[in-house]
Structure 1
Amino acid sequence: MDPPPLSLRRPAWVAADPSVLGVALVYPMQGPGGIFGPGCEACARLAVEEVNGAGGVLGRELRLLEVDGGADPRRVAAEVEALVAAGAVQGVTGWHISSVRQALAPRVAHRVPYVYTALYEGGERTEGVFMTSETPAGQLLPAMRTLAEARNVRRWFVVGNDYVWPRATARAARRYARECRGRMCGEAYLPLGTDDFADVLRRIERTDADGVLMLLVGSDAVRFNRAFAAAGLDARALRLSTLMDESMLLGSGPGATADLFSTAGFFASLADGNSMDFHGRYAARFGADAPVPGSLGESCYEGVLLLAALIERARTLDVTAIGATADQVRYEGPRGLLGLDGRHVRQRIYLAEADGLDFSVVAQLPSPQRLV
């Protein structure tokens, strides 16, 4: 039996007002991912305000209903399903881990459009689910190739949390290492919320790894960065993460980010026209003390824009009709003018190196032939 919903927030305005289109924003308010939750909320709220300022979606005003995506996946799914059944929301978006997506998609995606914004392991094909973020084929493989060529990294050790995204990504990384004339020399998977990395660090030290692939979420990655640097391992192996944004650098501290690389479709330090316009609007709306809008938070801005564009293009909330026109959708945001390929957004991917508490983009990575 499913546990009861966390809180059934069903405002009367959603069910009663046909001029309103409710959107469940599912993002982590607790747990390891809670470190970038405030950025997720702020970026999504800015996108909603801008969409509404331009006339809304099908003439209806977007309004967010926040759901804690850091809770147990079954509880998150039960809460969102209850909101859909009550007519409180007509769409779902947000950043949350793959375990939440796997619980949520079968229960709501056939009823309302669901835009998933987190980087993930690839392979999601549920009707009604659309993805804005990165997959290993387009993100990890070209990053490993680039580091193999530029830094001669051949021997990788994987440290990840113990759930579907890290384990599936590591399976892909084993193939990628061989393609780069290298190998995987060790793997370790730890529960979400781990704060003791002593055993893993000893394992890394006993290997000849010259690269550590970090597949850790939020504050787990922050604690690992600190422990890794304190053990002196940053002097012998670089780190590469596909889930590392500026909020996590701030949490790690400048002494724990040497030779740390991240790969993503967006970094706060990007200086093209789209990203600079976004930063200007974000700063004007939330002020200088707002959360840094790194790639994870910014993905929620993308999620709102894509959800709005999908519904506008189909001219209906019907999931089947939205899917039928999805390949024709184009929208413009901080990552540029984007479109969909097989329900995945095709976008530019970058490799960046930590420079203290910020990222410096060092390369735009070559586009893959396939996204998943």
Structure 2
Amino acid sequence: MKKLTSLLCVGSLVGASALAVALNAQAADPIRIGVAVGLSGANSVVAPAVVQSSQLAVEQINAAGGILGRKVELEIVDDASGAVGAQKAFDTLVFQKKVQAIIAMETSAARNAALPVVTKGKVPYIYTSFYEGRSCNPWMYVNGWVPEQQVSPMVDYFANAKGAKNFFLVGNDYAFGRGMLEFTKKYIEKKGGKVVGEEYLPIDGSDWTSVVSKIRSVKPDALISATAGGAPNVSLAKQLKGAGLTLPYGNLAIDEGTAKTMGDVATGLYMSASYLTGIETPQNKEFIAAMTKKFGADLKTPNELSEPQYEAFFLYKAAVEKAGSTDSAKVTSALGEVSYTGPRGAVAMNSSRHTQLSMRLGQVQADGSILILETFKNVDPGAQCPNIK
């Protein structure tokens, strides 16, 4: 009997040892985070900045000990800025790379196409792009702005400071452009203004000649556009400038980095953003300094698309630490309970899976810098996804 007991004890020790080895091996495995981004297509103008902010976040997290003692690895895949590419990119990340989470800014068409893959793979997804709102999924949280936060500062400024009553709206013909301008039109009319023209061009279109002609013919007091981030913003602004149109122009989709690459074409353009490099906070100064140190002359201007990408890694880190593991269901639940204070301020995705944000109305100056005209604190996103638990 004593011999049997000894053997059982030895067996238990061996089993415990094997379990410890297995747990240590698991702890040593890296946490893989997927980034699907438009390295080609319409978003290729902004993608490099998004990649850089992802790289800095991972470097800083790893330098501080990783997440639960595990290093973080990036898996970056091109989604080609569109639906077909996004399906392929997310499929690669979820089922081939087997990432623990996806953190990505994308066009709305790409996001919508990718969500079924996220649902099938049950992978936590932080969507870091501003967008038209009300995209809801049990596995997704959003830390970018929505129309309820971004439109009112621009429309109110044009109405109050510029005396604008008649507005012309221009967008790309897909979910973002249509959704943003539908909300903008309703807001303008609610405030007593009038939309005298509304035109759309396909997302890959670049000839705005007919649209510019219509703007000229109706003579609106102000113009507001919602085009796909990147190339369409540039082509529209260039053609407006070339036509000699000088009316107040607000762009609901342009980022600071793109604006700076446009030279005098962007001078005078208005933008409403939650992040601008001119934000005077210690966290933003530290962020800019760290980006500058890491990338030097190759640094792409941090902007409204790349900064939320950066902070999303720290939101994910906080969620994993709160959950005590990378278990998808536990982490997804925890994402609605954590916060992170970064360059934009405190961010918590607890407002129906979105976040309150301080918004800034800015205007592009002749040297490419953005003058912050007004700041609107803690703007609520409204009821975005109230039925997703």
Q: TM-score scaled by structure 2?
A: 0.86
Q: Name the structure, 1 or 2, with higher relative contact order (CA <8 Å, separation 6+).
A: 1
Identity rate, percent:
26
1:16 Cα deviation from its structure 2 partner:
9.2
| Equivalent residue for 1:117, pick from 128, 132, 142 | 128
Find the counterpart in structure 2 of residue 11 from structure 1: none
Partners of 2:81 and 2:106 within 8 A in 1: no
Q: What is the RMSD of the two structures over their aligned residues, measured on CA atoms?
A: 2.0
1:106 Cα deviation from its structure 2 partner:
2.0
Partner Cα distance (2:377, 2:82) in 1:
37
Partner Cα distance (2:127, 2:303) in 1:
17
Find the counterpart in structure 2 of residue 93 from structure 1: 103
Find the counterpart in structure 2 of residue 224 from structure 1: 236
Q: TM-score scaled by structure 1?
A: 0.90
1:368 Cα deviation from its structure 2 partner:
4.1
Partner Cα distance (1:177, 1:262) in 2:
17
Find the counterpart in structure 2 of residue 317 from structure 1: 326
Deviations 1:212-269 (A, max 9, x none): 11111211111111110111112xx211122212322233221x22431001110112
Secondary structure of the structure 2 residue equivalent to 1:29:
coil
Find the counterpart in structure 1 of residue 174 from structure 2: 163
Find the counterpart in structure 1 of residue 261 from structure 2: 251
1:95 Cα deviation from its structure 2 partner:
1.4
Partners of 1:67 and 1:76 within 8 A in 2: no
**What aligned pairs does 1:200-215 form with structure 2 within 5 A after superposition?**
200-215=211-226
Secondary structure of the structure 2 residue equivalent to 1:147:
helix
Q: 1:224 to 1:366 in 2, by over 3 A?
A: same
Partners of 1:311 and 1:317 within 8 A in 2: yes
Partners of 1:26 and 1:94 within 8 A in 2: yes
Find the counterpart in structure 2 of residue 282 from structure 1: 291
Find the counterpart in structure 2 of residue 9 from structure 1: none
The worse-fitting range, judged by mean Cα deviation, of 156-165 and 108-117 is 108-117
- The aligned amino acid for 2:306 is G
**What aligned pairs does 1:19-30 form with structure 2 within 5 A after superposition?**
19-30=29-40
Partner Cα distance (2:299, 2:211) in 1:
35
User: Unaligned stretches of 5+ in structure 2?
Assistant: 1-24, 385-389
Find the counterpart in structure 2 of residue 61 from structure 1: 71
Partners of 1:223 and 1:252 within 8 A in 2: no
1:367 Cα deviation from its structure 2 partner:
4.3
1:18 Cα deviation from its structure 2 partner:
5.2
Partner Cα distance (2:221, 2:307) in 1:
31
| Equivalent residue for 1:180, pick from 191, 196, 201 | 191
1:189 Cα deviation from its structure 2 partner:
1.1
Find the counterpart in structure 2 of residue 12 from structure 1: none
Q: 1:175 to 1:367 in 2, by over 3 A?
A: farther
Partner Cα distance (1:86, 1:16) in 2:
19
Secondary structure of the structure 2 residue equivalent to 1:353:
strand
| Equivalent residue for 2:251, pick from 241, 251, 274 | 241
Partner Cα distance (1:92, 1:221) in 2:
27
Secondary structure of the structure 1 residue equivalent to 2:35:
strand
Find the counterpart in structure 2 of residue 196 from structure 1: 207
Find the counterpart in structure 2 of residue 303 from structure 1: 312
1:39 Cα deviation from its structure 2 partner:
0.5
Partners of 1:268 and 1:295 within 8 A in 2: no
Q: 1:29 to 1:39 in 2, by over 3 A?
A: same
Q: How many residue pairs were aligned? A: 355
Partner Cα distance (2:379, 2:348) in 1:
15
Partners of 1:106 and 1:126 within 8 A in 2: no
Q: 1:100 to 1:17 in 2, by over 3 A?
A: farther
Partner Cα distance (2:95, 2:373) in 1:
47
1:190 Cα deviation from its structure 2 partner:
0.8
Secondary structure of the structure 2 residue equivalent to 1:288:
helix
The worse-fitting range, judged by mean Cα deviation, of 156-165 and 360-369 is 360-369
